[in-house]
Chain A
């Protein structure tokens, strides 16, 4: 079943609250879009709406964390990371507070709202902050598990959630292990490292490559920071080449993170599939995936380019 990763946000919060985890959510007037409204309905005393004030949202969450709560924040990725960057840096990360930044509407699949609302620089912004962990779940089940892991592990987390339905990759009882990359398909000719909505595109690409006799290993880099270097090195040691794919700028994101470590630990020919240092634009999500070169077809092309 295809469900948006954002759907998992409210569901995870309600579940955690029911289990007695002292979670709260601080929202900036987007509770229906982000689904934090589910927590507001079930546990109104655990929900704080700051209105359209994202900087205040991050720091109110910080204060709640200082008082002992596990504080999640809402809003859209572009506002929660961009507009409130100083708050995330100087208050949340600087003091390693229990604030879990889990905005929705990341990437170009935001769709018709256009480039102002399509955040493709958030992984870059978040992963350079000391103390921040960056999780990019591939589907609803992974998102719910990632949010749970963020809640139960102390300190700052960034959980990247999306607006559109993502095909199911993981079972309902999936347990998210922070810092682990998941090998979803084994292969010998090329490694495809993906995260978020690109994971299902990578799996489709691997199927297509198999039809042409090319054996692709697919890795879900569900935690971009800390990166699972061992799994990546083991894979490229075998395949000798890697394609990274993400619904994010090719600058600074998961592809950059992977390239950084592999260039030191095990340099191999690399192709980065992602948004090419441009802003998004209005369109339907599927059209935009095509327009920005993020579909399985583009991944197949990149893999073949590497295989010469």
Chain B
């Protein structure tokens, strides 16, 4: 049984890190990092992702691919909280010489499996990884691929979706952080995606829908997706962009903007550990 309180605490710490590192960098993507914080916290601190911060290249580990690479701060926060590198690195985000690039770079950052940033590629890479790792029951290493909902507008995602079901990649779990917003506004207005879970089902996937900020439900959904046999599974997580910071929540304007000093103070006061969890 995962320790829900611990996960909630980690998620709040990660949200604080996200706000602080983006403020320090004076640029970055807080909205989609905050919407994914609970998902990533469940993976890294809920026992869903088998990994070892002391040995990032441990062969038996699962793989996490952050396809929505602009949400790098959520990954960096998780990696730092897990101990892949010191938290002091977080304040170097996006700066010259930093190992924490604006988008994930596997050559520079321990714990980053795959470089991402150009949207729509992570699921294809995850397909190749899943196909290359081996299959159940001999090999249960699982590839988790986190995508944004706006990202699903990239046609390549559906090329990969076809591939995954055609090859019955049962060691592949896709997660969609469905926060409903993209840079130019609501996904439904920019380019409507329709029903995401049904689309994946039509492509031959097993789909699970969940509240992406309900830690317990997320744990169940990801565990069920991981255990699914016979083909790939997707967890469509309904989230709020900017979750945890009142003035960022549901506001597309916070997709790619750093908070001011005042806004940062306000955000951190809302993301208090002692006063309870972020959800």
Contact = CB atoms under 8 A, between A and B. Distances in A.
A91 B133 contact: no
Interface size class of B (residues with CB under 8 A): 20 to 34
A53 B125 contact: no
Interface stretch (A54-62, A107-115, A179-187, A240-248): A54-62
A71 B128 contact: yes
A55 B107 contact: no
B254 to A, nearest CB: 25
Given A48-B167, A60-B163, A95-B107, A65 B156 contact: no
Interface in A61-76: 61-69, 71
Contacts of A58: 124
B173 interface: no
A64 B132 contact: yes
Nearest to B59: A68
Contact of B124 (A51, A55, A65, A96): A55
Interface string B118-135: 101100111111111100
A67 B159 contact: no
B161 to A, nearest CB: 10
A94 interface: yes
A87 interface: yes
Given A56-B156, A90-B118, A64 B106 contact: no
B209 interface: no
Interface string B127-157: 1111111000000000000000000000110
Contacts of A177: none
Interface stretch (B2-10, B42-50, B109-117, B178-186): B109-117
B contacts with A: majority SS: helix
Contacts of B63: 66
B115 to A, nearest CB: 5
A175 interface: no
A60 B113 contact: no
B62 to A, nearest CB: 12
B160 interface: yes
Nearest to A71: B128
Contacts of A48: 131, 163, 167
Contact of A67 (B105, B133, B162): B133
B117 A63 contact: no
Contacts of B113: 66
A215 to B, nearest CB: 48
A50 interface: yes
Interface in A20-67: 24, 26, 48, 50-51, 53, 55-56, 58-67
Given A67-B132, A90-B115, A60 B127 contact: yes
A48 to B, nearest CB: 7
Contact of A59 (B107, B128, B132): B128
B132 A69 contact: yes
A86 B118 contact: yes
Contacts of A87: 118, 121, 124, 156
Contacts of A66: 63, 113-114, 125, 128-129, 132
A61 B118 CA distance: 17
Contacts of A53: 156, 159, 162-163
A63 B167 CA distance: 14
A95 B114 contact: yes
A59 B131 contact: no
Nearest to A94: B115
Nearest to B154: A55
A28 to B, nearest CB: 10
Interface string A104-140: 0000000000000000000000000000000000000
Nearest to A65: B128
A61 B125 CA distance: 7
A246 to B, nearest CB: 30
Nearest to B160: A56
A91 to B, nearest CB: 6
Contact of B128 (A55, A67, A95): A67
B159 A50 contact: yes
Contacts of B156: 53, 55-56, 59, 87
Interface in B68-127: 105-107, 113-115, 117-118, 120-121, 124-127
A67 B115 contact: no
A96 B107 CA distance: 9
A95 B131 contact: no
A224 B115 CA distance: 27
Given A62-B114, A64-B132, A66-B63, 6 more contacts: A50-B163, A55-B155, A59-B160, A60-B125, A90-B117, A91-B125
Interface of A: 24, 26, 48, 50-51, 53, 55-56, 58-69, 71, 86-87, 90-91, 94-96
